[in-house]
Amino acid sequence: MIARVFFIMTLLLPGVNVKAEDAKEAAHDAGHAGEAKDSKNGAPTRADHYVHRWVAFPSFKATSLDRRENKSVAPRDGRVTVIVFLASWCVPCQQQIKEFKRIEEKYQNRFTDFVYVFAHDTESDARGFSNVYKIGGNAMMASANVLEAFHQPELPTYYVADRYKWMVLRKSNTQKADLDGLDNFLSLHTAL
């Protein structure tokens, strides 16, 4: 019996050593036990060819519709941030805005911030749309820089940053089912 175990261990040992050598190389390549920082945005990366990469949520400046002043929009630590791109002329935006507002009201006391960014719209039309649907101080006008930072999103589109300021969800050209997905996502990520 001992001879069989010894024989099997002898066969397995080279495979174990190869895996250990791969782990050493990955740790050496990454710097600190398989984890390093991306030089562009400080996001953690892995040297073992992990397919997901972390993307920091872009902060931007936009013009507030209620006060007509430039405001900085950025996710805050400990809060989930939802950015919704829409326009007053966009028919799906008009159809889905009530559902976005319902979700916003549902999670307003659960560390969640909603910001509505009007893209490719006039200020007067965006202000009228904002007044009709009671968007209030969360309504912003997008500049060319904002649209460039978010890669010219199709309308309506939402982006979600988690409590650590990482972009965790994006849905372009949303449908009703996508809003149900947003609601489910927020219920998991804002659990009390």
CA Rg value for the chain? 24
What's residue 42's pLDDT?
Answer: 53
pLDDT tens-digit readout, 103-134 = 999 999 999 999 999 999 999 999 999 999 99
Residues 84 and 75: their CA atoms lie apart, in Å, by: 13
pLDDT of residue 190: 83
The reported pTM is 0.72
Express each pLDDT in 64-102 by its tens digit: 998 788 889 999 999 999 999 999 999 999 999 999 999
Enumerate the H helices of the chain as residue ranges. Answer: 2-30, 91-107, 123-132, 144-149, 176-189
Question: Residue 24: pLDDT above 60?
Answer: no
Q: Are 65 and 130 in contact (CB under 8 A)?
A: yes
Strand partners for 157? 85
- Which DSSP helix (H) or strand (E) runs through 67? none
- The DSSP code for 66 is T
pLDDT tens figures, 130-150:
999 999 889 999 999 899 888
Q: What is the pLDDT of residue 29?
A: 45
Domains detected in the chain: 2-45 (no CATH), 60-189 (3.40.30.10)
Per the CB < 8 A criterion, the answer to whether 79 and 113 are in contact is: yes
pLDDT at 22: 45
- Taking 50 as the threshold, does the pLDDT of residue 34 lie above it? no
